[in-house]
Amino acid sequence: MEWLLEEYATYQSTVAYIGLNGLLALSVYTTLSCGQLALGNAGFAAIGAYAAALLTMNAHAPFAVALLAAAALPALVAVPLGLPVLRLKGIFLAIATIGFGEVVRIGLVNWEYVNGAQGLVAIPQKASVGLIWILLGVALLLLWRLRGSKWGFALEAIRQDEPAARTLGIDTTRYKLAMLMVGAALAGLAGGLEAHFTFMVAPNGFAFTRVVDMLVFAVVGGVAAVWGPILGAAFLTLLPEVLREVSPHLGIEPGPLRLLVNGLILLAVILFLPQGLVSLPRWWQERRGARRPA
Amino acid sequence: MSAPLLEVGALEMAFGGVRAVDGASFAVAAGQVHGLIGPNGAGKTTVINLVSGLLAPTAGAIALEGRPLHGLPPHRIAARGVARTFQSIRLFPDLSARDNVLVGQHLRRRPSLAARLLMLPASRAEERQASARADALLERVGLAGRIHQKARHLSYGEQRRVEIARALASEPHLLLLDEPTAGMNPVEVQEVAALIRQVAADGRSVLLVEHNVRLVMDVCDTITVLNFGRVIADGKPAAVAVDPAVITAYLGAPA
Amino acid sequence: MLQQVINGVFLGSIYALFALGYTLVFGVLDILNLAHAAVFMLASFAALALVGHGVHILAAFPLAVLAAGLIGVLLERVAFRPLRARADSNISGLISSLAMATIFEALALLAWGPNVSRFPFGTIPDTQFRLGGAVISRLQLTIIGVAVALFLALSWLVTRTRLGREVRAVAESPRAARVLGVDVDRVIAWSFLISSALGGAAGVLYSLAFNAIQPDMGRGVELKGLAVIILGGMGSMPGAVVAGFALGLTEVFVVANLGASWRDAVSFAGLFLILLLRPRGLFGAAALREA
């Protein structure tokens, strides 16, 4: 029993990070589920993290309020970001969100009130592993319920053929904006939780590579099922731990190795298993000739 | 004679220098089947795209039940009671036949989000009803046995029929059919013809773009003939069939 | 004032070169190559490595540019071609190019480490000339000259050669081009070669100008490149050139008057402003909505 508790303490951080990365993966999944690529979620996470930290540290706000702000503020910011570009081709959203992420990061680096590049430290530790996983569970549940519903079908229709969806009465811009806002809220929530778990936040923790990470989680896990991104997050959070053991033997720095492996895995998945790991059972089934005659 | 359901006036669609539709005017009365025919490239699909809102006209007007339709985005036009099928078939390939039709019901469903998120029984009941309606529509087009098949696994003719079912799911006032029988065998064509007559009998109007001239003569109450984006004839099938301008357009100069 | 114009033109010429690569691929494939900035970076390292092995910079430049072009061909073959047939090729293409960019950056980190590398002393001439009341260095002059030469070469290629005609045909409609007998796969490969060569050239020139090479140097320029193609109009080559110079000049003026920390704000502000007011940019086509 003692041994179990010891093991748990050691791996607590990893378990927490699987949860946080799961939330971040879901934040990218929400827009992917309607066929959009939003690449600014590190920016949303940063807004959530800083807002929550400032509220607990400077305003002595209750943690619940800080978390609420962490989710709500990015969602509100997503509106002026998304509205102009969601009416246009998807590429514009990708570009605008790339720009947005950078703006947030550079803005934070240049903002003296939050110590610029050094960031904030000594944030009270209010987020526990349990809380992270409870909130992740709630998010999962809600997104899962969304899937087979009228709105879930509308999102799926937008993903598969947006113009056809419009002719069926679906206001695609509104749905895409809603998903952008939900994703922003999830990313912000993850940011706020992380800030209160690791006691500190700094702008370089929200660089573009973070967004690529989130994308890898979501794509590798697969967006065909709601728990796919979580699977991807788990797999790719544990992977660096494994790599860290291996890299000295290879004589390679763990950081770049992780980056390389992430990139290779993302490439392999998008080329060969685009629906992600969750689609493995179905893919296997179809390959074994389960096609029924017409 | 009641006011027309759909009125198209001096409609023009120019792409750069090319006028795909060049001053076309016609009307469709309520509960009538109106054919839109013409040689390839005459502008028929462009007209459908204009009425359904995927394109905005460069000039002219479209009115539904007396109120302007042109310039509205497609989802608002759909909300006004217009549904369509596509010449190239645009089903959602990874959704089943039933799910495709369910999406078609989007405008007619008003479930409660709260009920769905909280897994309340009212939500399950609404979904059962929606599925039942979808299945009924699929049965109506003769696809009762294919409800669960993914759209990409259906045959060509079956896909076209699912598209019609999906369009009917929103209970439209005006149904735009763009070559619904292309690639079908004669038996299927007859079934679609019967379906179109039924739909009109329900009180809906149909604007039918078709190359199958026999089908058009059979099923349509009135016909507009387009060539090079312009209306060259308009009237009852029998009259249009012997109109020299129409014959010239299809066959070249008269013998 | 003249000094600022000179600096702006010099900076702008690099931005324009870089953006041309983006816009060329976008015009032909309707896709954004998010690995373009990584190629920009790899070419810089290639030039650095060559110079480190004793190759004169004048030879290292074209070699590095060629290397960049070949990386572009590889990129197309591995990350874009297999996805072309897919329905969601736009998104999956973006994702696979992001994957390649990550791989390239990781390889650069493994090979050269995260810190700034510089050209060996003496690589870059530091003679300066006086022009009116301003100073222009030989390097700046060379960079502007090279950039302009490349613009002219590209322009000649696109308007006067058979390849150029084929590229324009494929950009217009791949299907129609194929029917007319154009080897679309070959044209796309060539487009990537030229695009990446331009990006690589921009990279080498940039690294000579600022003498600071590191694996994440592509990040900052990437955003400016995106701002330039949005401003100029996606797919428009003249647009990329005009907008590139416009951005360079604006940045220099803003820095001179508001301070260095505002430099990046220019491209961001420009980007969002254009998206709000005129998404098609200066010379872009009007088809902005999904069909």
A165 contacts chain C (CB < 8 A): no
Question: Which residues of chain C make contact with A160, given a CB cutoff of 8 A?
Answer: 87
B110, B4, B126: which is closest to B64 by C-alpha? B4
Tokens at residue A71, please?
Answer: 């989710």
Residue B194 has pLDDT above 70, yes or no: yes
Residue C67 has pLDDT above 90, yes or no: yes
> How many other CB atoms are found less than 10 A from the CB of residue A233?
28
Question: Which residues of chain C make contact with A99, given a CB cutoff of 8 A?
Answer: 223, 226-227, 268, 271-272
**AA identity, residue C60:** A
Section C88-117 average pLDDT? 90
Tokens at residue C253, please?
Answer: 């003026």
Residue pair B100/B151 in contact by the 8 Å Cβ criterion: yes
Looking at residue C65, its pLDDT comes to: 96
Asked if A85 lies within 8 A of C82 by C-beta distance, the reply is no
Question: Which residues of chain B make contact with A148, given a CB cutoff of 8 A?
Answer: 127
A89 contacts chain C (CB < 8 A): yes
> How many other CB atoms are found less than 10 A from the CB of residue B18?
9
B42 contacts chain A (CB < 8 A): no
Q: Is A251 exposed, middle or buried (0-12, 13-18, 19+ CB in 10 A)?
A: exposed
Band of residue C1 on the pLDDT scale cut at 50, 70, 90: confident
Band of residue C291 on the pLDDT scale cut at 50, 70, 90: very low
Looking at residue A289, its pLDDT comes to: 66
Residue C14 has pLDDT above 50, yes or no: yes
Please measure the distance between the N-terminal and C-terminal CA atoms of chain C and give it in whole angstroms: 47
In sequence order, the 6+-apart residues with CB closer than 8 A to the CB of A117 are A109, A202, A203, A204
Residue C263 has pLDDT above 90, yes or no: no
Q: Give the three-state DSSP class for B30.
A: coil
DSSP H or E stretch at residue B13:
strand B6-15
Band of residue B32 on the pLDDT scale cut at 50, 70, 90: very high
Tokens 């996983």, residue located: A133
Considering only CB atoms, C230 lies closest to which of A95, A162, A255, namely A95
- The sign one gets for the Cα dihedral A67, A72, A75, A76 is negative
Q: Whole-angstrom Cα distance, residue B89 to residue B178?
A: 9
B65, B87, B102: which is closest to B211 by C-alpha? B87
Buried b (16+ CB within 10 A) or exposed e, C176-199: ebeeeebebeebbbbbbbbbbbbb
Q: Whole-angstrom Cα distance, residue C273 to residue A85?
A: 11
A293 Rama sector, left if φ>0, alpha if ψ -120 to 50, beta otherwise: beta
Looking at residue C73, its pLDDT comes to: 96
Q: Whole-angstrom Cα distance, residue B198 to residue B191?
A: 11
C touches which chains (3+ CB pairs under 8 A)?
A: A
Among the ranges given (A12-16, B25-29, C63-67), the one the predictor scored with the smallest mean pLDDT: A12-16
pLDDT in single tens digits along all 294 residues of chain A: 676 776 666 688 889 999 999 999 999 999 999 999 999 999 999 999 999 999 999 989 899 999 999 999 999 999 999 998 998 888 899 999 999 998 899 889 888 888 888 888 888 888 889 999 999 999 999 999 999 899 999 999 999 999 999 999 999 999 999 999 999 999 999 999 999 999 889 998 998 889 999 999 999 998 888 999 999 999 988 888 888 777 777 777 778 888 899 999 999 999 998 888 888 887 777 777 655 554
Q: What is the largest CA-CA distance in chain C?
A: 58
Asked if A145 lies within 8 A of B117 by C-beta distance, the reply is yes
Asked if B95 lies within 8 A of A160 by C-beta distance, the reply is yes
Looking at residue C90, its pLDDT comes to: 74
Looking at residue A294, its pLDDT comes to: 46
